[in-house]
A = this chain, B = another copy of it.
């Protein structure tokens, strides 16, 4: 078979056109998909408190939502309901670093996650471990790992949570009833890895620094033993 240079070039041109058009189309498709992701971007949300009271039973037990007959308004998307929803979205881990924890509704959420097999770690302030209404004892008795600042001189004043190591909730809100229902408070929610990353590192740093055995062993057994 004899082929001239001109014909070879033309054939090459057609082949190149077909390939680049194909590449272009795949590329266009990929960009469409990535643009759609980009426009949505990582989750970011701001919640302001006090939160109006509303029934949140459906968040704890989605199946039993219709059966709740409490007198609170139903089906209202309050800041507290959104906070609870973010917490209950945890599927693998919940790292909680909060100064004071006396809110029973939030305690119930943490216990529910623990019963579902989510690995829960709690760091709290030393002084606020055992104050009246503290939920720390309840968490420990359920077998949840709790650590506190070892020094007497300083406060562990953070109020942040990491959900599955990829969603951060941080702000002014302590886990008390007053904070949720009365105070002016804010919680910023983000899945931006540039923000989540430093908080996850800080959590791990504090977790190790608050290890009561000082040998970097888990104090889970101490927790289940019922020590408060």
CB distance from A106 to the nearest CB of B (A): 16
For this complex, into which size category does the number of interface residues on chain A fall? Answer: 35 or more
CB distance from A179 to the nearest CB of B (A): 7
Interface string of A169-192 (1 = CB under 8 A from B): 011110000110011111010101
From 64 to 111 in chain A, residues with beta carbon under 8 angstroms from any chain B beta carbon are 99
Q: Are B183 and A202 in contact (CB under 8 A)?
A: no
Q: Which among A27, A153, A154, A160 has the highest number of chain B CB atoms within 10 Å?
A: A154
How many copies altogether? 2
Interface string of A104-130 (1 = CB under 8 A from B): 000000000000000000000000000
The 4 closest A-B pairs by CB, nearest first: A13-B14, A17-B17, A10-B10, A46-B198
A contacts, CB < 8 Å to B: 7, 9-11, 13-14, 16-18, 20-21, 23-24, 27, 44, 46, 48, 50, 99, 149, 153-160, 170-173, 178-179, 182-186, 188, 190, 192, 194-195, 198-199, 202, 206
